[in-house]
Structure 1
């Protein structure tokens, strides 16, 4: 019987959300951009 994947999600503070938004708008690095969007979502 396979194990169910465990997912841990913590709330993002207002300051962290604003920082992630800034990264998603200004980043030239595609990896950093994608990570910021995924975490922000």
Structure 2
């Protein structure tokens, strides 16, 4: 197998992991803020 193909395949497969990680961080922060606002009785927006 060609190293160029291996590196390109790894590069393509890593992007979804990066996107999932970023979305996880954003959603986790949103849920934390939402719960805090709900506990304090205020709107999140």
- Indicate the TM-score class for this superposition, using the shorter chain for normalisation: 0.3 to 0.5
Higher normalized contact order (CA 8 Å, seq sep 6+, divided by chain length): 1
Q: Which has the larger radius of gyration?
A: 2
